[in-house]
Amino acid sequence: MTQEKVIKVVADYKDPGLIERISANFRRFWVDIKWMHTDCNDNDMCTIFLALYERYTMENIDLSITTLSKMVDVDSVEILNDYKINNFDIKYKSSTKYEWGELIE
């Protein structure tokens, strides 16, 4: 069984490179992305869900999430706890939220 960590990214959509910059952030730290689901609304706000593999690079995942939260277009990054996924309908009860590299409670 493969361990995975699911995160939620809320970002401002200003150009088509947003998703590539988010993906490149994880590639920089050798973190594999299992899947990604993006939903953008008319107000240029995007919610991006990503599942990250936790098999080889567990110590790099936390660093990559903190670095991602410091990106200019990214408003917040949440690590989802106690989640359930059904055809990209993601329900979760709690999360750990980061903004500008700081843990928000």
Please give the distance of CA 44 from its chain centroid, rounded to a whole number.
17
pLDDT at 2: 54
pLDDT tens track for 41-99 = 888 899 999 999 877 766 788 889 999 999 989 999 999 988 888 876 788 888 888 88
Number of other residues whose CB lies within 10 A of the CB of residue 22: 22
Write down the pTM of the prediction.
0.84
Please give the distance of CA 71 from its chain centroid, rounded to a whole number.
12
Q: What angle do CA 10, 77, 58 make, to 5 degrees?
A: 140
Q: Domains (ranges, CATH) in the chain?
A: 4-104 (3.30.70.260)
Return phi, psi of residue 69, to 5°: -70, -15
For 71, the enclosing helix (H) or strand (E) is none
